Structure 1
Amino acid sequence: MKKKMLLVFSVVVSAAALFYVPAKADGIIIPEPPICDPCPIPSPMSQLEIRYHHVTVTIEDQIATTYIDQVFYNPNDWDVEGVYVFPIPVDAAVSDFILWMDGKPVQGEILDADQARQTYEEIVSTLRDPALLEYADMGALKASVFPIPPMDERRIELEYTQALTAENGLVRYIYPLGTEKFSIEPLENVSITVNVTAKQPIRAVYSPSHPISISRESDYQILAGYEEQDVLPDQDFALFYSIGESEAFHLMTFRDPSDPKDPDGFFLLLLAPAIKESVRAIPKDVLIVLDRSGSMEGEKFEQAQQAVRYILNKLNPEDRFNLVTFSTAVEMYANDLQPVSEEDDAVHWLNRLRAEGSTDINRALLEAAYLVDSERPTYLIFLTDGLPTVGEVESEKIIANLNESSPGNLSLFAFGVGYDVDTYLLDSLAQAHHGSSTYVVPGEPLDEILSAFYNKISAPVLTDLQLDFDDLVTADIYPHPLPDLFIGSQIAVVGRYRQGGTFDVMLSGLVNGSRQNFVYPDQEFEEGSPDLEGSIRSLPSLWAMRKIGYLLQQVRLIGPDREIIDEIVRLSIRYGIVTPYTSYLVTEPLPLGAEEQERIASEEFNKFNDQATLPTFGRKAVEEAEGQSSLANADAVASAPVEALGKVRTIGSHTFILSDRVWIDTMYDPDQMEVIE
């Protein structure tokens, strides 16, 4: 008993420390006690909903102007009034605050870190809610909010300017976005739009915190956007970008020296090719293998034809191509690879095709593999909407046949249209040939998706990538294998490292058939990251997401393996990754020690064994394939499900779960505690 009580005490201390880590949040209204007598007394922090939260950011030469538009809604039968508090990042040089409420200017008070801490502590002592202590050590903007009538709204707008800083060659912008504790319901809509302009070319653009879309308006301007509906944002929005003429190679590292069970560090590498006239795309070969069986008839085939026409029109001058179509029989546009000058004739041939017959996938892929030139990078775009029905129909044999027939320079990109596709076949082909699989569900525009994909791979500059870390011991590097590098694209590589220190990192790849090496000297891998507040503290979770996604794909494609299942369970609990496949954090009783994890792993192993006989086609199979691919290729930590937001907190490499009003570190195992006399 003494052992257990000692452990609970240590866990409570850890939870208290959790709330003192500055986690920055967007503007919030701290309500006063309800203005009614008598009336029900709700939890003071749950009196208001946030209808929407829109942020527009303009960054010109590292000067950022942020405009915020929020609407707070009072769903109660009484007035709600309070104090609006907007935490200011501790390292932000903020000026020119402007605050409006319902379109009218409001006088706000800017508090320094000491004044803000006193304000937060006063609120916490009144509300007995420790969550606000996350904002300690930060400044704040504070303003009174007039009463919000029942079933009414209050619109708050805020604009401020700040000078941005750079770290490790990257300009960093952070926007406080953490409303899950202060809205009763998920936000109907949250969006952040960032317009960046610079006098030098903008290179790598990356958000480790949120999935963003990036539009390159020119070499000197980019638009980055994030938007979600019905969501409770649980972390700050972070955007990094680099400027300059040279190729981008940026390293970010994170290491928690206080973790004795897992002291290895985490790293993130951003790779982006140079954007200049002297950089020429490597001549490539493009093979399009197109399903024209009867099930493709109608809009699907018309959209596929439109996408193929687009690809042919976008080929580079020194590229070559060929078209392979298949139904009951296989038909090729030409017997060998053709120069770009044959585009018009190929389009006429394509336009005459009709969708009819069965589906001979095996022969179509073998005919395409026969055309591959081992001296040039070759991209095979394979599109189908069904299962193999003639010729070889066994997925395992189709995969083996292509593996035996194609050289190592072939990259295969599979597109499954609809739900009647063999996800096992498409994913296995893509994984074996350095590519990816994409699923186009009913209602999605096939032509737009395929065209957008080709834009990303149209101009390769480095293929068959390899990384060498000198004497640094590294492990679990994702994506695996590394994809090719294209003009206008970037690769985010995550992994683990053993010891810290300064090391040379070498990136190598093929350029026109010859291997070239690029050495980046004196890259520093941190010995320790004592300040867990940094903008890269989500790096452990990002790494864990990618590894879990990769392992789930292995289980689905290769079959259940107990060691892999054990690792999936351990990583999910350790790093707070809540997915449809790893929901133990919100469904299992706590704490989740070694015995509990062993039980969960056994149950999951049996579940995967039962699922091994399920069909690899159909809506469920497609959704599962998409979900696992999203995890394995995540560029940002996905938002946790709504049911997990009030229960799970991740700080650096530590995950805490709320149980009976106590935050418990998932590293806590009651069976392994030592008694201290």
Structure 2
Amino acid sequence: MAGGATFEQRWRYDLASLQCRRKKRHLQHSSAGTCRRVKSTNALAAADWAAEVPRFFNEFVVHIGVSRQRSSVMVGSMFRRIAALASVAALVAIWANLAFAQVVIININETAPYRLPRPIWPPHPHPPIPRPIPTPSPIPVMEYKIKELNVEAKLDRQIAKVQVSQTFQNTGNRQMEVCFVFPLPYDGAIDQLTLMVDGKEFEAKLMDKDAARKMYEDIVRRSQDPALLEWIGTGLFKTSVFPVPPGAERKVSLRYTQVCRASGGMTDFLFPMSTAKYTSKPVESVNVRVAIESDADIKNVYSPSHLVDTKRPDEKHAIVTYSGKEVIPGSDFRLLYDVGAGKLGASVISYRPDASDEGFFMLLASPEIKAMTEDMQSKTVMFVIDRSGSMAGKKLEQAKGALKFVLNSLKEKDLFNIVAYDSEVESFRPELEKFTDETRKSALGFVEGLYAGSGTNIDSGLKTALAQVKDASRPNYIVFLTDGLPTSGVTNEAQIVANAKAANQGRVRIFAFGVGYDVNSRLLDAVVGQNYGQSEYVRPNEDIEERVSKFYAKVSAPVLTDATADFGFDGVTAEQGPPVSRMYPKGPFDLFAGQQLVIVGRYKKDGAAKVIIKGKVGGAEQRFDFPANFVAKSTDSTNAFVEKVWALRRVGEIIDEIDLKGRNDELVKELVSLATKHGIITPYTSFLATEPNLALTRPEAAAGAATRSLDALAEADGLGGFAQRRAKGELKQADAPATAAPADAANGGIAGKRGEQGFGAGGRGYRYRDNADKEVVVDTVRQIGPKTFYRRDSRWVDGNVTAEKAKNTVKVERFSKQYFDLVAKHGRELTQYLADDEPMTLLIDGVVYEF
């Protein structure tokens, strides 16, 4: 070896020479029981010398990690070089992909362990609420970040072909010798995979769940970092070792075939990517694209984990996409879909954590795609537009643009008309018009000639429109747009609502758009509540045309109207009452081509059942029957999202009832109870963020605080009224858990059902809007799996832990024998909560534990 060689080169040369002298061409890996051929002295990987070092120092080696036994006397220059190198820097680490491509750096060196990084949350400009600062850990934290993650998956029946590419960067100042570990979502899911690093293929060996558990627990004990605990219980793939110099990037490509599970008659695709939360900074770009192909017609497509965009080019194909920028993936990506024949498809997902209490269910229903052309019903669309003086300028121009979009989207055989009002009322035609090219052009001319006047006669505008719609056998819709208060004609809210209800003889659904902060939002909610519709609120800086156009694109093709859902169980008597209750949305509903209906509710009776959906198709009554099964007791929290969606909608319904009918003590208590359990922070339950002890230890005082906050609903208009009713509508229309909402999601309301409330990165940073319509970020509440935790002093406390239950708390020392015994007993139902190393109190199987 030349004298100018580096220290590490001389060390590698000596070690390779020793191997040659001993006639050894392979090194044994203690973790996988496989051999690797030494191909090059310069390319000798850390795993090779890590396996050889124990022969000289009587050291213990676990899964490519190196432990050194210090010695005051070293024999031979080569031994001194090895010892010096090991003492200067801990070069051996594992990059573990614990979610099929989410890279985590794990150092398992016994004398130089490292902890996984956690990003600071919430980031600037939302500083965290001051709280006790935990004592810094003596164990250093690895420095790395995941820059980009792209997932492409193709699903055909229960087989998923997945290709992943990911770019990560060593942000530290030391070279890392890394390998990948790929935990399986469940045993038997994958039989082989191919891994490429910068175009070079690396072999991956399968470890069963017992060997994987031992590796995880060894790392957790050594590093005093519980991050890996949540993946205990399944097998894994592990690759060989390669170097990553300081500042260097590596692009990893992964291909595998996965067998998806079936859940409630639906194919359940899982791509675990929550390990990407272990990164020093948010992931710059996350993109997921799932292409579904099927020989049978695809019916329902639903993601309980992320707000996805779904395209349905035909009945046998669907494209589902998700993208995020600067995010910390706090949950795995999950996608459910079903297939079947017929004009309507439906599936039921049930969840019952407590067999002694009522369970929760979600009904998904979708019409077939070809119904867009074959069974699409002709409809009546009325436009009622406010042209008062306050609409002058940009608002009126955007409203006119929205009307033009809808007019150009009507179909032959549709009926329509336009009613414009200020203090007076003017109609495009004295009665409904058939849609033709000629009437379209005339209507566009009428819209172009609209100008702002004075006064706001909402009552006359609505009555004029409703009086023209008398045929209740066809789908009838009013798009009602206003930006202010009733100032002309009848101005009493209750009278306006009563007049609209009395005039609605054609079962017209009213969809109201309140524009700007001056609108009487309480009036609009009351009108749509009595007329089968929904309301949406548009901020001054938002585009009216975009919102109305997006809404109409969703509801332009009614397929099944005035539909109801019933459930048939064997052996249920009238005395037992209905087997299902508290379903949302309430009452008859319409199904639209290309859209999916989501109904949630509670159930008492378990077992096999029949779902009966009845409605009108082209004016004729039709009935559709589907089999369903309601579980007696859920064995895990896989479908806990069903309970969360029900809770969100129920909270919205409670607020709506209090808003329109007045306060009720029982409703207030239920509101506080649901909000506390599920972490649903509203202006009325904001004490959960500032005073969590109030709800956890003094529920009566919490109900009193909520009651006082609910006084704000007296604001019928203005900024406060607008903010409260926009947030209420969002809760009532929730289609997915709040954890699925990206932190910067734009509210799509009626059309998009994308919320502005929910948890951000990794279940942290709950965002909601206060009564001034300002965003509030809370870092004293967090979501982990199905549980909500509140920060009390320096500890996270499970929202299910009451003062009474806490009396018999069992204290458990982290990383003790008792600790790992509980891990072995409860598995992921416990470890998903222990993965964070902050002090925690939680309820598991009726026992309160303090970690």
TM norm structure 2? 0.69
**Residues 452-531 of structure 1: pairs in structure 2 closer than 5 A:** 452-470=550-568, 471=572, 473-513=579-619, 515-520=621-626, 522-530=627-635
Q: Is 2:366 aligned against 1:272?
A: yes
Q: Which moved more, 1:45-54 or 1:489-498?
A: 45-54
Secondary structure in structure 2 of the residue aligned to 1:400: helix
Q: What's the secondary structure of 2:274's corresponding residue?
A: coil
Alignment of 1:97-136 (within 5 A): 97-102=193-198, 104-136=200-232
Worse-superposed segment, 192-201 or 79-88: 79-88
Shift of 1:576: 3.8
Choose the corresponding residue for 2:163, options 67, 74, 81.
67
Determine which structure has greater relative contact order: mean sequence separation of CA pairs < 8 Å that are 6+ residues apart, divided by chain length: 1
- Do residues 194 (structure 1) and 290 (structure 2) align? yes
Structure 1 unaligned residues grouped into runs of 5+: 1-22
C-alpha separation in 2, matches of 1:25 and 1:577: 32
Q: Does 1:421 align with 2:519?
A: yes
Q: Which residue of structure 2 lines up, in the alignment, with residue 11 of structure 1?
A: none
Matched, 1:632 2:757: no
Question: Partners in 2 of 1:348 and 1:454 — Cα distance?
Answer: 21
Structure 2 unmatched ranges of 5 or more: 1-97, 116-135, 573-577, 740-758, 767-778, 810-851
2:654 to 551, 569, 572: 551
1:344 aligns with 2:441: yes
Aligned to 1:214, which of 276, 298, 310?
310
Deviation at residue 490 of structure 1 after TM alignment: 1.5
Match of 1:29 in 2: 104
Aligned counterpart, 1:256: 353
Equivalent AA in structure 2 for residue 416 of structure 1: G
Cα distance change of structure 1 residues 73 and 418 upon mapping to structure 2, 3 Å threshold:
farther
Aligned pair count?
A: 644
The match for 2:378 is 283
Q: How far 1:493 sits from its partner (Å)?
A: 0.9
TM alignment of 1:43-442, pairs within 5 A:
47-60=143-156, 62-73=158-169, 83-90=179-186, 93-94=189-190, 97-102=193-198, 104-143=200-239, 153-179=249-275, 182-246=278-342, 247-257=344-354, 263-276=357-370, 279-341=374-436, 342-375=439-472, 376-407=474-505, 409-442=507-540
Match of 1:600 among 696, 702, 706: 702
For residue 302 of structure 1, what is the amino acid of its counterpart?
A: E
What amino acid does structure 1 have at the position aligned with 2:544? L
For residue 44 of structure 1, report the CA deviation from its aligned partner. Answer: 5.4
| Match in the other structure for 2:834 | none
Higher-Rg structure is: 2
d(CA) in 1 for partners of 2:195 and 2:320? 25
Task: Report the CA distance shift for 1:327/1:541 in structure 2 as closer, same or farther (over 3 A).
Answer: same
Residue 589 of structure 2 aligns to a residue whose secondary structure is coil
Shift, 1:287, TM fit: 0.7
C-alpha distance in 2, partners of 1:444/1:67? 38
Partner residue, 1:539: 642
Residue deviations 1:451-479 (CA, integer Å, cap 9, x gap): 22212212222222222223362122112
Distance 1:150 1:417 in 2: 54
Provide the rounded CA distance (Å) in 1 between the counterparts of 2:350 and 2:374. Answer: 30
Structure 2 CA distance for partners of 1:286 and 1:149, relative to 1, 3 Å: same
Deviates more, 1:622-631 or 1:380-389: 622-631
- Secondary structure of the 1:489 match is coil
Tell me the amino acid that sits aligned with residue 417 of structure 1.
V
Structure 1 residues 523 and 198: alpha-carbon distance in aligned structure 2, compared to 1, 3 A threshold: closer
Instruction: Tell me, yes or no, if the aligned pair for 2:615 and 2:623 is still in contact at 8 Å.
Output: yes
Give the AA of the match of 1:391: G
Q: 1:176: Cα distance to partner?
A: 0.8
Task: Identify the residue that residue 9 of structure 2 maps to in structure 1.
Answer: none
- Distance of aligned partners of 1:68 and 1:37 in 2 relative to their CA distance in 1, 3 Å threshold: closer
SS in 2 for 1:628: helix
Which letter maps to 1:31? Answer: I
For the residues of structure 1 that align with 2:540 and 2:244, how far apart are their CA atoms? Answer: 44
- Higher mean displacement: 195-204 or 582-591: 582-591
Query: How far does residue 403 in structure 1 lie from its aligned partner after superposition?
Result: 2.0
In structure 2, how many angstroms separate the alpha carbons of the residues matched to 1:601 and 1:162? 49
- Structure 1: distance between partners of 2:630 and 2:531: 32
**Residues 1:674 and 1:43: Cα distance change in structure 2 (over 3 Å):** closer
Quickly say closer, same or farther: Cα 1:597–1:403, change in 2 above 3 A. same
Q: How far 1:134 moved relative to its partner? A: 1.6
Deviations 1:237-276 (A, max 9, x none): 211222333120111111124x65xx22111111112334
Cα distance, 1:331 vs structure 2: 0.7
Offset at residue 294 of structure 1 (A)? 3.3
Aligned match of 1:617 in 718, 724, 730?
718
Q: Distance in 1 between matches of 2:348 and 2:690?
A: 37
Q: Deviations over 1:22-56 (max 9, x none)?
A: x9786231332799999996665674444443333
- How many angstroms apart in 1 are the aligned matches of 2:784 and 2:455? 51
Counterpart code for 1:355: A
Q: Aligned AA for 1:637?
A: P
Contact 2:416 2:434 in 1 (8 A): yes
Distance 1:267 1:43, change over 3 A: farther
Contact 1:52 1:188 in 2 (8 A): yes
Alignment of 1:11-30 (within 5 A): 27-30=102-105
Kept after mapping to 2: 8 A contact 1:74/1:152: yes
Which whole-Å CA distance do the structure 1 matches of 2:694 and 2:101 have between them? 32
- Over the matched positions of the two proteins, sequence identity in percent amounts to 34
**Structure-2 change in CA distance of 1:309 and 1:135 (3 Å):** same
Cα distance, 1:571 vs structure 2: 0.9
Contact 1:559 1:612 in 2 (8 A): no
- The alpha-carbon deviation at position 675 of structure 1 amounts to 7.7
- Residues 1:588 and 2:691 are matched in the alignment: yes
The alpha-carbon distance between structure 1 residues 338 and 647, as it changes in their structure 2 partners (threshold 3 A), is: closer
- Superposition CA RMSD, Å: 3.5
Higher mean C-alpha displacement, 186-195 vs 421-430:
186-195
Question: 1:507 offset after TM fit, Å?
Answer: 1.6
CA shift, 1:631, in A, is 2.1
Q: Is the 8 A contact 1:267 1:497 kept in 2?
A: yes
**Which of residues 649, 653, 674 is equivalent to 1:571?**
674
Q: Output the CA distance in 2 between the equivalents of 1:457 and 1:440.
A: 19
The Cα of 1:90 is off from its aligned counterpart by 0.7
